[in-house]
Chain A
Amino acid sequence: MSIRAQGLRTWLWQRLSAAYLAAFLLFSLAGWILAGPWDYVRWRALLTDPVYAVATALFFAALLLHGWVGGRDIVMDYVPAGALRFTALTLLALAVIVMGAWAVVILLLAQIT
């Protein structure tokens, strides 16, 4: 079966993003606990560090991709095909896009201000 088959590709993205989310969360949790306590200056320095900022941007990309596939699966399982499902999927897609743009703005604003 071709990897370009739509369902299989989605399945693969769901797993790849899951692996990154798990790794990032474990790494970050351990770092936050070991390197605490945190104040504003240190927290900002962490989130504007180029490596961690890119890792965080990737985290949100993986999170939203993962959330899109999961939310899409839930909608397709419980909302019958038709206008209602189309509306639900459109709203979900819009929400994911807005949250992604929001994350980019947060991380970029922290860099330039």
Chain B
Amino acid sequence: MSNNNNQRPVFLNLFLIRLPVTGVASIAHRISGAILLLLVPLLLYGLQLSLRGPEDFARVTGWLDQTWVRLAAIPVVWALAHHFFAGIRFLLMDLDCGLNVNTARVSAWLVLAAGAVTALVAAGCLL
């Protein structure tokens, strides 16, 4: 019996594993969360500057006018939007809503689409 644990097949080729759409929504939720957590220091720095004085406030808004900052903001908007929508999906599932496999697949597609659409709208507004 104790040997069974060692003889379980290990298959970790990420290029050959076909993740179901529910899995894609899930891992994207994790990746977007990690991105957002890493950006909190930047948010704090911007908030600090924006409250320090008129010149520093103008510096922060000046960054937001730069093209490369606006380009970089698009994946951040995606991360926030996807994390938001996928998070609401998980909250609903915690409330036993949408646990049926077919419903979960549809909602996963919807969540992925909503994040992508939000990023596209942001791209339209920012560029």
Contacts and interface: CB of A to CB of B under 8 A. Distances in A.
Whether A and B are associated in the same complex: the answer reads: yes
Contacts, number: 48
A47 interface: yes
A89 to B, nearest CB: 14
Contacts of B50: 40, 43
Interface size, A (range): 20 to 34
B84 A25 contact: yes
Interface string B52-70: 0110011000000000000
Interface in A86-113: 99, 102-103, 106, 109-110
B87 A22 contact: yes
A106 B91 contact: no
Contact of B40 (A15, A22, A99, A110): A99
B37 A67 contact: yes
B56 to A, nearest CB: 9
Q: Is the interface of B mostly helix, strand, loop or mixed?
A: helix
A50 interface: no
Interface in B45-104: 47-48, 50-51, 53-54, 57-58, 84, 87-88, 91, 94
Given A74-B30, A99-B41, 8 more contacts: A43-B50, A47-B47, A64-B40, A67-B37, A67-B40, A99-B40, A106-B47, A106-B51
20 contacts: A18-B91, A22-B84, A22-B87, A39-B57, A40-B54, A43-B50, A47-B47, A47-B51, A63-B40, A64-B40, A70-B37, A71-B34, A71-B37, A74-B30, A99-B44, A102-B44, A106-B44, A106-B48, A106-B51, A109-B51
